[in-house]
Structure 1
């Protein structure tokens, strides 16, 4: 029987031989592929969004517009993993009269258990892969909800979780030897008692917060040339303003951001890698561009350079 060849996107971590300093592929707002325009808006949404969504005359139409401009990924967690994504950027919230915790972005999306199930299944099938999960925004969360989420993560991943440690000593070789496959960033002091989680002081993710391509690149160039003794996320994302959305009322974030993703991918390719101190690169709608292959190729070049 012919031996099955591994998917080229499944082995990109193999190019990072020692330190966890290669560029990890990630998705921005990873859990937004299933936002529900028929449900309610997330507590904590802006007053303008809440007023539009709750308007009895235009509420449903408004939520359709909100959905099109809030969805940042089209692929579910399993397909993201298969494509090569190893970092998940998550906003989570509870829902009134519901025991589940959801991935959100203005609207409610997939359940967090969808993420944990997909990652757990993938890691069992790929024992040398490492996945990073970043919980960085919490809405309608009380102390008991943090305990609920922490308990879920510990019960699903168990001994696969790499505990918080000195980042300078964290290597893939060490993780493989210790049979660790998951790094969980939990950016809330509510879980300080759990040694399994990396807290907010271990990761930085500068947000350009602009709809302008050139300003975004200028911001990233400025921020990513600074050294940090922590994980550094490069947010290659444009943020539409209200005026942007009004101008493209019946458009979508996906169509609006397509030219930028191509431009951002080129920026990654031509920028001097030695000048940018980053570990993780994220953007929107990763399946629509050469983004993934570009990052993989850069990691290959980095390893070759270190070997010579």
Structure 2
């Protein structure tokens, strides 16, 4: 039963192993584990500060003898590779892209440059080939130092990598009714959200009109819980025609970093964020106005995946 698996390997195929009645539930009403800043599991300490950081941070970090190390510790958000995250049960990937000066490629980024996007897509493709009943949600939502030409090349790269595995459509009717039972009758195994107008040139990609991802923007765990509690009780979701991401993450303020200069996201924020978020989730219900995608930093910690999947035992259509 979903949420009652004991082996980590079980999560590789949790969608394929769902009870039949849950495969007839719209995906936007299922509890789905996701990762925050999915590509920030490896960051290049020798490549300079990335373009997603403000210029003042880039200047200070390059002039400070330990600046790169500080940025690295406060930018790393995952340990598992993208494929490792997917094998661990993650089905939503939060991917942030950046053009890198002097390189023809686009990279994932978070403070520093990560892997090339094309290498990340290889990991995703390998996972889908090995686990043909799983369905992924790729969310490209932040872009830095990219031209319209760069965007077009990225979109073509994604199409070339997956082709018929991408579920196009971009309509509230389809989003609200999309079920695994129906998807398995097609070659499609992913939906791709792309938050730039260049996506309009192609029919493969969805706009962010069909996914909400509110951000608490706090480093206080009580404020994080209160933020989600308000949204949950006030039915912040627009309705059945959308996906919704509940972000269980704390964001360091400048003061937090300065006063904890030798600490990190993992040691300073995650021990407060993940337990608080999972505690809040415990009695919540998946539905088209309730819990859907849940994402955190360091997805392998605090039994995040089994805790999210266990919510599907209480699902409401």
Give the distance between the partners of 2:153 and 2:116, measured in 1 at CA.
Answer: 13
Which position in structure 1 is the counterpart of 2:4?
none
Does 2:237 align with 1:227?
A: yes
Does 2:87 align with 1:82?
A: yes
TM-score by length of 2: 0.89
Q: Select which of 33, 47, 52 maps to 2:41.
A: 33
Does 2:259 align with 1:254?
A: no
- Most deviating of 273-282 and 127-136: 273-282
Which position in structure 1 is the counterpart of 2:185?
177
Which position in structure 2 is the counterpart of 1:110?
115
Give the distance between the partners of 1:115 and 1:44, measured in 2 at CA.
Answer: 19
**Kept after mapping to 1: 8 A contact 2:99/2:146:** yes
| Structure 2 unaligned blocks of 5 or more | 1-6
Q: How many residues align?
A: 297
Which position in structure 1 is the counterpart of 2:304?
291
Which position in structure 1 is the counterpart of 2:23?
17
Which position in structure 1 is the counterpart of 2:205?
197
**1:32 deviation in Å?**
0.4
Task: Indicate how the Cα distance of structure 1 residues 274 and 150 shifts in structure 2: closer, same or farther if over 3 A, else same.
Answer: closer
Task: Indicate how the Cα distance of structure 1 residues 275 and 202 shifts in structure 2: closer, same or farther if over 3 A, else same.
Answer: closer
**Kept after mapping to 1: 8 A contact 2:285/2:291:** no
**1:260 deviation in Å?**
2.2
- Most deviating of 62-71 and 252-261: 252-261
Matches within 5 A, 1:79-158: 79-158=84-163
Give the distance between the partners of 1:235 and 1:215, measured in 2 at CA.
Answer: 13
Task: Indicate how the Cα distance of structure 1 residues 255 and 40 shifts in structure 2: closer, same or farther if over 3 A, else same.
Answer: same
**1:223 deviation in Å?**
2.2
**Kept after mapping to 2: 8 A contact 1:265/1:290:** no
**Kept after mapping to 2: 8 A contact 1:28/1:72:** yes
Q: What SS does structure 2 have at the residue aligned with 1:17?
A: helix
Output one character per residue of 1:29-65: Cα deviation in whole Å (capped at 9) or x when no partner.
000011122212122422331121231xx2x511110
Which position in structure 1 is the counterpart of 2:3?
none
Task: Indicate how the Cα distance of structure 1 residues 199 and 206 shifts in structure 2: closer, same or farther if over 3 A, else same.
Answer: same
Output one character per residue of 1:208-254: Cα deviation in whole Å (capped at 9) or x when no partner.
00011111111112223323231110011111111111111111110
- Most deviating of 154-163 and 186-195: 186-195
Give the distance between the partners of 1:147 and 1:48, measured in 2 at CA.
Answer: 30
| Structure 1 unaligned blocks of 5 or more | none
Q: Select which of 227, 232, 236 maps to 2:248.
A: 236
Which position in structure 2 is the counterpart of 1:63?
68
Give the distance between the partners of 1:275 and 1:90, measured in 2 at CA.
Answer: 24
Q: Select which of 265, 282, 286 maps to 1:269.
A: 282
**1:275 deviation in Å?**
9.8
TM-score by length of 1: 0.91
- Greater RCO between the two (CA within 8 Å, min separation 6)? 2
Give the distance between the partners of 1:124 and 1:246, measured in 2 at CA.
Answer: 45
Runs of 4+ in 1 over 4 A off after TM superposition: 272-276
Give the distance between the partners of 1:258 and 1:247, measured in 2 at CA.
Answer: 17
**Kept after mapping to 1: 8 A contact 2:8/2:88:** no
- Most deviating of 161-170 and 132-141: 161-170
**1:11 deviation in Å?**
2.9
**1:301 deviation in Å?**
3.6
